[in-house]
Amino acid sequence: MRVGIQNKPLQTVGWETGKVRLIDQTALPEKLQYLDFSDWREVAEAIRTMIVRGAPAIGCAAALGIALGSRGIIASGREAFLGRVTGIADTFRAARPTAVNLFWAIDRMIAVAENTPGNPVDMKDALLTEALKMLDEDIAANKRLGDFGAELLPDAVNILTHCNAGALATVGYGTALGVVRSAVEMGKNVHVYADETRPRLQGMKLTAWELARDDIPVTVIADNMAGSLMRQGKVDCVIVGADRIASNGDAANKIGTYTVAVLAKHHGIPFYVAAPLSTIDQSLISGAQIPIEQRESIEMTHIEGIRVAPEGVAVINPAFDVTPAELITGIITESGVLRAPYEEAILEALGVARGATGMGARSMSIAGR
């Protein structure tokens, strides 16, 4: 029997009366605030400034932003229209470099524009239809992913997660927290340890807020507490999200994830990555090729606008690190749980996803590796 979560589900990205609607994640946890954007440039800036964050969420936000921008294009011919759409897409490409879902969504939108017959009016309608389709697909994929992941968990479990891979990082439901939500709905007794996730504190501000809102037991810990809790036997598994996964299974996620993975390996604790198949970048042989976003030093030197570091001190502030595939117990996707050797499992999973039939039966074979 599934148990329903009582609060109204969050929708991070949406389309309302001709505008892109986003939850302002910079306002959380103090208030839940929705922002409506009528200018596509503002949507791109919202991605860059992390008003919206999380790989699946920014991909869908970009898709809606492109659809929004296309509606303001005045062009009589197809080629002129395509040129303008491509220019809008290039602005979104430059917003953030690591999350491959952003580029996946942009490429998908450009393909729709190129392959839609008719005049620019038809193309505009097709772009909006495709972007809205992505929103529905994201939630459905997260729920399938969540169910696959929940089946891995015992009836009572303490889960450690890092950063935010919840509804706020997706259109809704979540990846790592999608597994948590599915487990709760299955009646399992779940408790989550949420790393604070320096320097922007997404674990404390966003993950803890989401879970508390849904009455799911959560305890915030400092980033440097994880190893101690593992040694005490208080962590049963780790589940994190990902912003890009290479074809060999190496996974980029928020800075600090690699440290957690090493600790989990040392203590014999399963370490799972939960991500939709759109997060896999087959063009990359390994995680060494994943571009790592370098962010402003003020994120490190200041907390809530207050300087905590000496004036002029040097700072390194990468937003992500890469966890090698050999540290990952399984990659939880909407097609099942992928196991090593990841090159084979990823190829099979992507083949399943491209097929119109047989997903359920074959996904179980992937999960059973």
In DSSP terms, 286 is beta-bridged to none
Residue 164 to residue 197: CA distance in whole angstroms:
9
- Which DSSP string do the residues of 299-322 spell out, in sequence order? HHHEETTEE-S-TT-----BSEEE
Q: Which helix (H) or strand (E) holds 193?
A: strand 189-195
Asked if 195 and 260 count as a contact pair (C-beta separation under 8 A), the reply is: yes
Residue 211 to residue 184: CA distance in whole angstroms:
11
CA atoms within 13 A on the CB side of 249: 24
- Total Cβ atoms within 10 A of residue 165: 34
Query: Left, alpha or beta for 118 (phi > 0: left; psi -120 to 50: alpha)?
Result: left
Catalytic residue (choose from 138, 147, 214, 243): 243
**Which residue from 238, 209, 196 is spatially nearest to 23, judged by alpha carbons?**
209
In DSSP terms, 158 is beta-bridged to 191
Cis amide prior to 199 (ω within 30 degrees): yes
- Total Cβ atoms within 10 A of residue 40: 22
Going across the sheet that includes 244-246, the strands are 280-281, 244-246, 251-254, 320-323
Asked if 312 and 271 count as a contact pair (C-beta separation under 8 A), the reply is: no
Please indicate whether residue 223 is annotated as part of the active site: no
Q: Residue 324 corresponds to which tokens in the numbers above?
A: 């090698």
Residue 315 to residue 299: CA distance in whole angstroms:
10
Which alpha helices (DSSP H) does the chain contain, by range?
40-48, 55-71, 78-93, 100-115, 120-150, 176-185, 202, 208-213, 226-231, 257-266, 298-301, 342-354, 359-367
**Which are the catalytic amino acids?**
243
